[in-house]
Structure 1
Amino acid sequence: MDKSLNDYVEIYKAELDKGDIQIAYEQLLKYVMALKVHFQKVQPDSYTFGNVYLGFMDYTYFYFFNDFLRSKKLRFGIVLNHPKMQFELWLLGQNAEVQSIYWELLKITKWNAGRTAKPKYAVLEAVLIENPDFNDLDALSDKIGTAAQSIIQEIMPYLQD
């Protein structure tokens, strides 16, 4: 038998009463905000950065783009995938039409291998760090930045006219 909303709320309240979830969630959000600042310092003239979006305990992300990506109505996002607890790079389209165009272009690439349908929110999702070590945030930021830059350099030629 399925649980009712009251059942889920009781479980949720019990977990909140422990206090660990709030601390972990707050620290993860602070880290993603600091990660955005790190990216801005490392790439100060290369990209324009958007705000950090908190999501619904599923994804926390910030996006960034340059003039070329803007002209294509695209942006990249650095995403903390909460259920998988990993960092990902997403290529995002401005609207459904743009997403469809770039899904058709990129669905046969290695980043979409094995997918039969477009990801829910993005045109492309690539894992940056599968098992992040949150005990050394500076090293983690460097690893995310290096991985993101490498994948971006691989993706960009596919986006050229």
Structure 2
Amino acid sequence: MENLNKYVSIYKDQLKKGDILIAYNELVKFVMKLRSECIKKFSDQYSFAGILHGYMDYTYFYYSNEFLKSKKLKFGLVLNHLEMRFEIWLLGNTKSVQKKYWELMKSTKWNKDITEMPQYSILETIILENPDFNNLNALSKQIETKMFQVTEEIVDYLKH
């Protein structure tokens, strides 16, 4: 890196303004609440892992069921901070599992226009672009509905 001190100074100045801290903390709290709601509503169908924070680029949690576990797969509900949208990722437990399922799924609708396997997953599909954070209850419902609709479609594809 050319001049880390320069970037750290900019970072520090932005944090002092407070807007980034408030936004980031509120976004993480929202994903945490969303996870809690999913556990309440869907724990009979899926198990949910804890919240993971990327490097201010992604906030996400994994979820899976017995079928997925038997295939060494899991899903992630991802808040992509850079694009500010919600995505579903299908992931393998290892790189070799991911490569295997990438080959199986690279020409599906979920990987449309994708020519290379994503860095961290088998597929990454957008479930909500341009979320409205001013109505968190409605946003939660939108995400949950789309999340499990897409999840079930992918699971059905994998089963057949």
TM-score (norm 1): 0.95
Aligned residues: 160
Question: For the aligned residues, what is the CA RMSD?
Answer: 1.2
Task: Give, in angstroms, the shift of residue 9 of structure 1.
Answer: 1.1
**Please, which moves more after superposition, 57-66 or 4-13?**
4-13
Read off the aligned partner of 2:46 and give its amino acid letter.
Y
**SS of equivalent residue, structure 1 residue 157:** helix
Deviation for aligned residue 1:158: 2.3
Amino acid in structure 2 at the alignment position of 1:81:
N
- Structure 1 stretches of 5 or more lacking a match? none
1:32 alignment partner in structure 2: 31
Equivalent position of 2:106 in the other structure: 107
Is residue 132 of structure 2 the alignment partner of residue 119 of structure 1?
no
Residues 1:73 and 2:72 are matched in the alignment: yes
**Residue equivalent to 1:4:** 3
Q: Which runs of 4+ in 1 moved over 3 A?
A: none
Specify every segment of 5 or more residues in structure 2 that has no aligned partner in the other structure, as ranges: none
Report which stretch shifted further, 151-160 or 76-85.
Answer: 151-160
Deviation per residue, 1:11-33 (Å, 9 max, x gap): 11110110111111111111110
Query: SS of the counterpart of 1:125?
Result: strand
- Aligned 1:1-161 pairs, distance under 5 A: 4-160=3-159
Shift of 1:144: 0.5
What is the TM-score with the length of structure 2 in the denominator? 0.96
